[in-house]
Amino acid sequence: MVRRVKAPTRDPFLTADGVATRLTIRELKKARIDPQPLLAKAGISRLGEEPKRVGAESQIRFLEMAAKALDDSALGLHLAQDFDLRECGMLYYVLAASPNLGEAIRNLARYLAVSNESIRLGVSERIKNTVLAVSYKIPRHSDRLFAEYGYAVVLRACRELTGRNFSPKTVTFIHGRNTDKAEFDRFYGCPVRFNAAADTMVLATELLSAPILTSDKYLLQILKNACEEVLAKRGKISSTLRTMVENEIAQLLPHGKAQAEKVAGNLGMSNRTLARRLSEEGTSYAAILNELRRDLSARYLRDPDLSLNQVAWLLGYSMVTSLNHAFRRWTGSSPKATGLRTASARLA
């Protein structure tokens, strides 16, 4: 019997890789539903084609709203069954390079935070059964669809990487479900129980010896080293809150709306709370804004297709003179003197 684990302290700034969000956006577009209002309501900035991390709780909210818009109560399960698993990025390749299913699952548990900082996977291996149990660092009651998406992705990966269409012994979810239960039973190949004490998937331990078809011990070591670096780096560099603030500022700068109050509201907190949280991390909103503008200016000024007026606009300045003053403060020189612009830098 799996014991319910006490919920850990809530951290609203944990992030996820955003794969489920991007898959959901595709489904909304297929149905001719504009995803932007839902993204904004969930607190997610516009996502481009490149990978971008999102707030874990924001992703959960987005999936729930999208499911209503699509009239698909099993959206998480459906998303998991119909995409290229390589979109999961480095974590998928760690599993694919592992020697066998058991090692792949252990690597998944070790490096899951690379993909999603809000959940943890516990693996309990016994003689007959191996139990995979997920615990949350955010309120579990707010989630339904992402939990269903996550377990389905894990099982899909295990099946495809071993070439074996096996079924778990049991699958349980904490949340309740009144519809589409038969569809879950068919996908997993076993009865799926809802309103359970824990989120678990139980596999026969003998399955752990199944070889991974794409195993590569040399690649695996490279990928594990990379994952270790990612985990270590997240503990040393700027906080998740700072990253989220930077993401919001970058979206608002061109519109001249990158005020602290606006960013705080987008992040679901008061301006005072944002200031306090940033102060606890040894920084401030003004410092983040200034440093982000400085970093972005170097990038934009290297682009010969952008005029100085356009660069100033992208950085939230109403005039080029404001950009020049700021750039002199950052570097001691004008944009033209640094060599980042051509001698005849355009002003129009």
Residues 196 and 275 in one domain: no
Amino acid at 60: I
The pLDDT tens digits for 160-184 are: 999 999 999 999 998 888 889 999 9
The answer to whether residues 211 and 78 belong to one domain is yes
Last residue of a domain, one of 198, 231, 264: 231
| Strand, coil or helix: 202 | strand
Residues 224-258 have pLDDT tens digits of 999 998 888 765 444 457 767 876 787 678 777 88
Q: For residue 337, tell me if it sits in a domain.
A: no
Closest CA to 28 of 18, 17, 39, 19: 39
Of the ranges 215-219, 238-242, 273-277, 343-347, which is most confident? 215-219
The b/e string for 94-130 (b: 16+ C-beta within 10 A; e otherwise) is bbbbbebbbbbbbbbebbbbbbbbbbbbebeeeeeeb
Instruction: Return mean pLDDT, the chain.
Output: 86
Question: Which one-letter amino acid corresponds to residue 326?
Answer: A
Q: Do residues 191 and 88 both lie within one domain?
A: yes
- CA 146 from centre of chain: 12
Same domain assignment for residues 148 and 292: no
The Cα–Cα gap between 103 and 151 comes to: 18
Boundary of a domain, candidates 212, 231, 250: 231
Structural domains of the chain, count: 2
> Burial of 223 by CB count in 10 Å (0-12 exposed, 13-18 middle, 19+ buried)?
buried
**pTM of the entire structure?**
0.66
Q: Please check whether residue 63 lies inside any domain of the structure.
A: no
Query: In this structure, are 104 and 169 located in the same domain?
Result: yes
One domain for residues 256 and 225? no
221 lies in some domain: yes
The residue among 148 and 303 whose pLDDT is bigger is 148
For position 175, what pLDDT does the model report? 85
Residue 177 token pair: 């479900």
Last-in-domain residue among 231, 249, 277: 231
Same domain, 149 and 265: no
Q: Let me know if residue 43 belongs to a domain.
A: no
More confident residue, 52 or 121: 121
Lowest pLDDT segment from 24-28, 156-160, 258-262, 333-337 = 333-337
Statement to judge: residues 227 and 89 lie in one domain: yes
- Any domain includes 204: yes
Q: Which residue range(s) make up the domain with 298?
A: 240-331
CB atoms within 10 A of CB 225: 10
Report residue 104's pLDDT band, with 50, 70 and 90 as the boundaries: very high
166: left (phi over 0), alpha (psi -120 to 50) or beta: beta
| Pair 224, 246 in one domain | no
**Burial profile 307-339: b = 16 or more Cβ within 10 angstroms, e = fewer:** bbebbbbbbbbeebeebbebbeebeeeebbeee
Q: What's the first-to-final CA gap in the chain, in angstroms?
A: 70
**Quick one: which of 211, 218, 114 has its CA closest to 163?**
211
CATH number at residue 309: 1.10.10.60
Please write down the long-range contacts of 310-319, taking CB distance under 8 Å and 24 or more positions apart.
311/335, 313/254, 314/253, 314/254, 315/253, 316/252, 316/253, 316/254, 316/255, 316/256, 316/258, 318/256
Encoded amino acid at 42, one letter = A
Residue 41 domain-assigned? Answer: no
Lowest mean pLDDT among 42-51, 144-153, 235-244, 265-274: 235-244
Tell me, yes or no, whether 212 and 288 share the same domain.
Answer: no
Residue with tokens 């076993």, as numbered in its chain: 190
CA pair distance 5, 310, nearest whole angstrom: 53
pLDDT of 295 above 60: yes
Summarised one tens digit per residue, pLDDT across range 14-56 is 889 999 999 999 999 999 999 999 999 998 876 665 557 898 9
197 and 223 fall within a common domain: yes
Same domain? For 174 and 78 the reply is yes
| DSSP track, 63-132 | HHHHHHHHT-TTHHHHHHHSS-GGGGTHHHHHHHHSSBHHHHHHHHHHHHHHHBTTEEEEEEE-SSEEEE
Residue 73 is which amino acid? S
342: in domain: no
Establish if 307 belongs to a structural domain. yes
For residue 5, what pLDDT is reported? Answer: 39
